[in-house]
């Protein structure tokens, strides 16, 4: 291990040289109170931050270092998440902007959002806490600026480390709340199913977000805390927060109705984000959903490969096969049908849909349309005729946001009306309306089995190689990534919330290729990948250490694979 003064001397000797000369700084350096491992430095100041790897290590047993007795996986994940946030905050306070060409002059870490996730940017073992950050060593043009580099490495970085990892600068009560909040949410999610529930929203929760582009809570005097209807109240005793009360949504078919701008979609968004644990102060800390909750929507133009959409669409013109349906350009109805079947294939237990993002002809065929167009001339079996069958035969619940399709009253177990952002249980009223309606639509084709055929991906069709023969895997946006010659569009995969997750999915597809032997089902493949990550950590996805990855679910990994153009499937 080198002394830090060796690094200082090396940096000062590089002033004015070409940027590539920074490559000579690789090594491990002792700063006395922490170690810095410089593992990879970009050869160009315009290179993306993730191409540089800097590892800060501290002794976890040093009494001056923040620590916590970690007795479970969720406690460790929350502890690492807390360290990530404090290191990020210190970076922004001490070195918040670019000082030079391209990305140079920055000290950053993978920035977290509003949920507590396992991330690769902070790793903890029995003896060490390691933080993986990015230092954009500074340049003027493509020439090294040694004085700013010295400021970053020998003034700012030590302050960042001390402010984020030393007890004297960390509120240990805040750390304790962070971990206990995650433990309580995980506990609450695990007791939903035994309690007959698929979702729970705590009283006093703050559901609205600050804007359409921010996941932070709305802070306003006029914000209305959530309050459960008396008839839907459920109570739980959490390990740390004690007894809490809120609205429990039972398994079955539930509708969220109401006028425009009264909070229907906001409630659904809270339910779909309830598969994650939220940070203290988010407002949704005690709002959880079953882990198998999956948001479904229509998305025209996506690709579909050998998916059995026949439970919803059959008898297409020109004898188009819907048992092994393939297309490069799906319609709204075929994309939504495929999305449901793909979710069922991976093990979804709760489907979430918002009428605004669904294909109308997929959701409902009312009586007037039934009278005009006979079923013989309509290949689509509307979701309204399958929703109860999904619950009855496969124990898959559904929560629907509706504003105009009252025929769903006939097939629902619970109807919640949002009135000025507060829920009311109007199930009895909706049932009475349904029973008194003389113009009922007829059920259509409700006995056709919902039993998706197994699908086996062919690994040779999942190639990360681009047109130049080089491996190309990267993501710059949450809703798309590049994999080889293709850009995978994840716009309709709405439960992805951080760019680090998208980067993980892109890498996980490459990691999964050896499992794609044409015999192993897609479900088994993604479950093996998730199990490998859980057992060995996110580092297994890459041949180099990275701080750019975060926890994903099997659903989003499978959905990404299904949207990869060129994918070949062998159907059972």
Q: What is the Cα 217 distance to its own chain's centre?
A: 18
Asked whether residue 130 is domain-assigned, the answer is yes
Residues 92 and 227 in one domain: no
DSSP 152: I
pLDDT in tens, 349-365: 999 999 999 999 999 99
Asked whether residue 531 is domain-assigned, the answer is yes
Other beta carbons within 10 angstroms of residue 522's beta carbon come to 24
DSSP 218: P
Asked whether residue 490 is domain-assigned, the answer is yes
Q: Report residue 102's pLDDT band, with 50, 70 and 90 as the boundaries.
A: confident
Residues 446 and 460 in one domain: no
DSSP string, 80-143: HHHHHHHHHHHHHHHS-S--SSTTTT-EE-PPP-SEE--BTTEEE-SSEEEEEEEE---EETTE
**Segment 134-141 mean pLDDT:** 91
Q: Domain boundary at 453, 487, 506, which?
A: 453
531: Cβ contacts below 8 Å, ≥ 6 apart = none
Asked whether residue 41 is domain-assigned, the answer is yes
Q: Report residue 96's pLDDT band, with 50, 70 and 90 as the boundaries.
A: low
The candidate with the shortest Cα–Cα distance to 399, out of 496, 268, 246, is 268
Q: Domain boundary at 417, 437, 453, which?
A: 453
What is the distance between the alpha carbons of residues 540 and 507, in angstroms, rounded to a whole number?
A: 10
First to last CA, the chain: 57
pLDDT in tens, 144-202: 999 999 999 999 999 999 999 999 999 999 999 999 999 999 999 999 999 999 999 99
What is the distance between the alpha carbons of residues 153 and 159, in angstroms, rounded to a whole number?
A: 10
- Domain holding 136, by residue range, is 2-170
Asked whether residue 181 is domain-assigned, the answer is no
The candidate with the shortest Cα–Cα distance to 79, out of 185, 180, 187, is 180
HSE-CB for 425 with a 13 A CA cutoff:
14
Asked whether residue 186 is domain-assigned, the answer is no
CATH of the domain at 223: 3.40.50
Mapped onto helix, strand or coil, the DSSP state of residue 456 is: strand
Mean pLDDT over each residue of the chain, to the nearest integer: 95
Residues 291 and 381 in one domain: yes
HSE-CB for 517 with a 13 A CA cutoff:
5
What is the distance between the alpha carbons of residues 537 and 505, in angstroms, rounded to a whole number?
A: 14
Helix 332-346 crosses helix 554-562 at what angle (to 10 degrees)?
140
**Segment 260-269 mean pLDDT:** 95
Residue 556: enclosing H or E segment and its boundaries?
Answer: helix 554-562
Other beta carbons within 10 angstroms of residue 104's beta carbon come to 27
Its pTM stands at 0.95
Number of structural domains (the chain) is 3
Residues 332 and 247 in one domain: yes
Whether residue 15 has pLDDT greater than 90? yes
Residues 314 and 443 in one domain: yes
Q: Decide if 567 contacts 305 (C-beta within 8 A).
A: yes
pLDDT in tens, 285-344: 999 999 999 999 999 999 999 999 999 999 888 778 899 999 999 999 999 999 999 999
Asked whether residue 230 is domain-assigned, the answer is yes
Left, alpha or beta for 268 (phi > 0: left; psi -120 to 50: alpha)?
A: alpha
């Amino acid at each position: 291990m080198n002394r830090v003064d060796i690094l200082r001397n090396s940096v000062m000797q590089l002033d004015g040289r070409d940027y590539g000369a920074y490559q000579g700084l690789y090594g491990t350096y002792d700063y006395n109170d922490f170690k810095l491992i410089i593992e990879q430095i970009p050869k160009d100041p315009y290179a993306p931050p993730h191409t540089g790897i800097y590892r800060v290590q501290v002794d976890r047993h040093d009494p001056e270092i923040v620590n916590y007795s970690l007795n479970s996986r969720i406690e460790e994940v929350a502890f690492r998440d807390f360290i990530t946030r404090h290191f990020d905050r210190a970076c922004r306070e001490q070195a918040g902007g670019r000082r030079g060409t391209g990305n140079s002059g920055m000290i950053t870490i993978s920035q977290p959002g509003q949920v507590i996730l396992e991330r690769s940017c902070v790793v903890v073992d029995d003896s060490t806490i390691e933080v993986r950050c990015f230092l954009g060593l500074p340049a003027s043009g493509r020439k090294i600026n040694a004085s700013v580099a010295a400021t970053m490495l020998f003034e700012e970085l030590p302050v960042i480390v001390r402010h984020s990892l030393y007890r004297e600068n960390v509120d240990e009560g805040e750390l304790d709340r962070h971990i206990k909040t995650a433990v309580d949410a995980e506990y609450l999610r695990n007791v939903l199913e035994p309690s007959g529930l698929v979702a729970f929203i705590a009283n006093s929760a703050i559901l609205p977000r600050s804007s359409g582009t921010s996941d932070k809570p709305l802070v306003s005097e006029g914000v209305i805390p959530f309050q459960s209807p008396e008839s839907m109240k459920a109570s739980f005793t959490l390990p740390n927060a004690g007894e809490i009360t809120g609205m429990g949504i039972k398994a079955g078919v539930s509708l969220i109705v109401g006028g425009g701008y009264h909070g229907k979609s906001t409630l659904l968004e809270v339910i779909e984000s309830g598969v994650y644990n939220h940070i203290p102060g988010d407002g949704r800390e005690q709002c959880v959903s079953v882990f198998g909750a999956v948001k479904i929507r229509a998305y025209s133009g996506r690709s579909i490969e050998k998916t059995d959409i026949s439970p919803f669409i059959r008898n297409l013109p020109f004898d188009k096969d819907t048992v092994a349906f393939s297309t490069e350009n799906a319609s709204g109805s075929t994309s939504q049908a495929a999305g449901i079947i793909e979710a069922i294939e991976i093990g979804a237990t709760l489907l979430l849909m918002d009428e605004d993002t669904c294909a109308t002809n997929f959701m409902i065929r009312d009586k007037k349309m039934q009278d005009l167009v006979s079923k013989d001339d309509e290949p689509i079996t509307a979701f309204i005729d399958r929703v109860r069958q999904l619950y009855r035969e496969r124990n898959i619940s559904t929560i629907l946001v509706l504003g105009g399709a009252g025929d769903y009253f006939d097939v629902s177990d619970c109807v919640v009306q949002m009135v000025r952002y507060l829920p009311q249980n109007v199930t009895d009223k909706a049932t009475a309306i349904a029973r008194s309606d003389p113009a009922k639509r007829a059920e259509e084709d409700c006995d056709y089995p919902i039993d998706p055929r197994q699908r086996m991906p062919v690994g040779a069709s999942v190639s990360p190689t681009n047109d130049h023969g080089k491996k190309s895997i990267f993501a710059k946006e949450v809703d798309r990534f590049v994999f080889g010659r293709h850009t995978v569009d994840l716009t309709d995969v709405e439960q992805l919330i951080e760019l680090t997750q998208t980067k993980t999915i892109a890498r996980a597809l490459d990691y999964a290729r050896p499992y794609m032997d044409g015999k192993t089902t897609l479900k088994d493949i993604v479950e093996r990948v998730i199990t490998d990550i859980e057992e060995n950590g996110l580092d297994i996805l890459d041949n180099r250490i990275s701080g750019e990855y975060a926890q994903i679910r099997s659903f989003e990994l499978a959905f990404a694979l299904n949207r990869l153009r060129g994918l070949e499937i062998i159907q059972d």
